[in-house]
Amino acid sequence: MKKSTKRVLAMVLTAVMLLALTACGGGGGDTAQQPPADSGGDSNAAEPAAPSGSKELTVYTAFPEAEVVYYFNEFEKETGIKVNYIRLSAGEMLTRVEAEKENPQATLMFGGSTDNYIAAVEKGLLEPYQSSELGNTPASYIDPTGTWNPIYVGCIAFACNKEWFADKGMSYPGSWADLLDPAYKGEIIMAHPATSGTAYTVLATLVQLKGDDGVWEYLGQLNNNMSQYTKSGAAAPNAVAMGEAAIALTFSHDGLQPTAEGYPIELSFPSDGTGYEVGATALIKGGKAEEQENAKLFIDWMCSEKGQGLYAENNSFRVPTNTKAAVAEGLVTLDQVEVIDYDAVWAAGAKSDYCNQFEEKIASAPKE
């Protein structure tokens, strides 16, 4: 049953608020139509940050390197603050921050879905900071714990190589069941859920659609058509762009990104429902003291109309969470597809278990 974007996001907010209550002791990315700006949670926002004495900022980022360099360079031009970064998949980023908990080597996490940020909050890895620039961000995107900050949204899509489908005379897959067609043997690619936030969103979506029993039966069949499991989510659509596979399971913005350079990709979406992410950024708890204000300044900048307007300027198809920001032509918004009531809080808590099961039952299993 099709659900409106507003209802979907409201359900996610409710789930996140339940986590917030627990943490407080209560028991335990064509035309872009976005929700109206209603940021009722903005009353707890911090005052705008000012640069600290340091002129550097150390960041772990899940953004593709070719994309993120543009944002860091623009930030340096405007503020004089140089960003030193390490590019990691979303899963690797969370794992590294946790491993460095006693001696953090970076000050900021940038990019990746809120599943990872909710998990990081539970593990005590993040320092609360809610930007004062969330006034044009719908309240349903905002973390009620005031820890992480939303910066884009996007849904899971099938990124299809137009030339492959034209040569085969086939239509694009329109459901999850369509991906089981033997014609796709060796032609589907996605990342591994243990290292990729994109792939974990795919896995968590399928669990919510098919249940604990049905999901492993389905993924076992899908595994027969898989080409490989990559480390990062962005690598899958890049492989499709190069003709190395016919279909990538990926976020819509990553699937469309190669089209900016002329590669033959078009998107299709499962009519039986798809999941989505709210991408985020946050301070790492115990990060470099001399970089704290610089990190807050960067968060404010990326939450602002100007900062998120850089997506379109950089030919990125991410949907800004700031409703005033410019958007790229052709991007896909949540109200254009069939989205499920994706439970980000459940997904965060279940990640380790389901990733381990995926490795044991699917990735390491022999193909038929």
Closest CA to 291 of 77, 75, 81: 81
pLDDT digits (tens, 9 = 90+) for 278-314: 999 999 999 999 999 999 999 999 999 999 999 999 9
Answer whether 205's CB lies under 8 Å from 340's CB.
yes
Q: Return d(Cα 147, Cα 11) in angstroms, integer.
A: 19
User: Is pLDDT at 17 greater than 50 in this prediction?
Assistant: no
Query: Distance between CA 263 and CA 267 in Å, rounded?
Result: 13
Pair 164, 237 in one domain: yes
pLDDT for position 346: 95
- Claim to verify: residue 270 and residue 200 sit in the same structural domain: yes
pLDDT range class, residue 36, cuts 50, 70, 90: very low
The CATH number of the domain where 174 resides is what? 3.40.190.10
Q: Specify the pLDDT at position 51.
A: 59
Our count of domains for the chain comes to 2
- Please indicate, yes or no, if residue 185 is contained in any of the structural domains: yes
Residue 212 lies in a domain: yes
Domain range for residue 37?
Answer: 29-153+278-337
Spell 237-275 as b/e; 16+ CB within 10 A means b: bbbbbeeebbbbbbbbbbbbbbbeeebbbebbbbeebbb
Q: Are residues 88 and 183 in the same domain?
A: no
Residue 9 lies in a domain: no
Residue with tokens 């950024």: 281
pLDDT of residue 365: 86
Q: Are residues 265 and 185 in the same domain?
A: yes
- Per-residue pLDDT band at 28 (split at 50, 70, 90): very low
C-alpha 71/C-alpha 211 separation (Å) is: 39
Annotate 336-347 with DSSP letters as a single string.
GS-B----HHHH
Reported as a single tens digit per residue, the pLDDT across 86-109 is 999 999 999 999 999 999 999 999
Are 95 and 213 members of one domain? no
Asked if the structure places residue 123 within a domain, the reply is: yes
Distance between CA atoms of residues 148 and 275, nearest Å: 20
For residue 41, which of 147, 151, 143 has the smallest C-alpha distance? 143
The residue among 21 and 354 whose pLDDT is bigger is 354
Pairwise pLDDT comparison (8 vs 291), residue with the higher score: 291
pLDDT band at residue 368 using 50, 70 and 90 as cut-offs: confident
Of 105-114, 301-310, 323-332, give the lowest mean pLDDT range.
323-332
Q: For 57-71, write each residue's pLDDT tens digit.
A: 999 999 999 899 999
Residue 18 domain flag:
no
Task: Give the mean pLDDT of the chain.
Answer: 88
- Residue 52: pLDDT band (50, 70, 90) is low
One domain for residues 355 and 208: yes
Q: What are the tens digits of pLDDT across the range 232-285?
A: 998 999 999 999 999 999 999 999 999 999 999 999 999 999 999 999 999 999
| Residue count (the chain) | 368
* 177 shares its domain with 241: yes
User: And the tokens for 348?
Assistant: 């965060």
Residue 7 lies in a domain: no
Structure tokens at 105: 């080597």
Q: Is 349 exposed, middle or buried (0-12, 13-18, 19+ CB in 10 A)?
A: middle
49 part of a folded domain = yes
Residue 78 has pLDDT above 80, yes or no: yes
Map residue 37 onto helix, strand or coil: coil
What mean pLDDT comes out for the span 167-178? 98
Q: Decide if 75 contacts 301 (C-beta within 8 A).
A: yes
The answer to whether residue 23 scores a pLDDT higher than 50 is no
Compare 30 and 213 and report the one with higher pLDDT: 213
Is 239 in the same domain as 267?
yes
Same domain, 140 and 261: no
Is 92 within 8 Å of 112 (Cβ atoms)? Answer: no
pLDDT digits (tens, 9 = 90+) for 185-239: 999 999 999 999 999 999 999 999 999 989 999 999 999 999 999 999 989 999 9
Q: Do residues 98 and 208 both lie within one domain?
A: no
Is position 249 within any domain?
Answer: yes
What is the residue-wise DSSP string for 75-141?
A: HHHHH-PEEEEEE--HHHHHHHHHHTTTS---SEEEEEEHHHHHHHHHTT-EE----TT-TTS-GGG
Q: Is the pLDDT of residue 128 over 90?
A: yes
Report the relative pairing of strands 247-251 and 276-284 from DSSP bridges.
unpaired
- pLDDT level of residue 49 (50, 70, 90 thresholds): low
**Is 86 in the same domain as 71?**
yes
**Whole-angstrom distance, CA of residue 172 vs CA of residue 277:** 23
3-state class of 68 per DSSP? helix
Q: What whole-number distance in Å separates Cα of residue 109 and Cα of residue 118? A: 13
Full-model pTM:
0.81
How far apart are the C-alpha atoms of 360 and 349, rounded to whole Å? Answer: 19
The per-residue pLDDT for 47 is 54
253 lies in the same domain as 317: no
- Checking if the pLDDT of 317 tops 60, the result is yes
What is the distance between the alpha carbons of residues 230 and 196, in angstroms, rounded to a whole number? 8
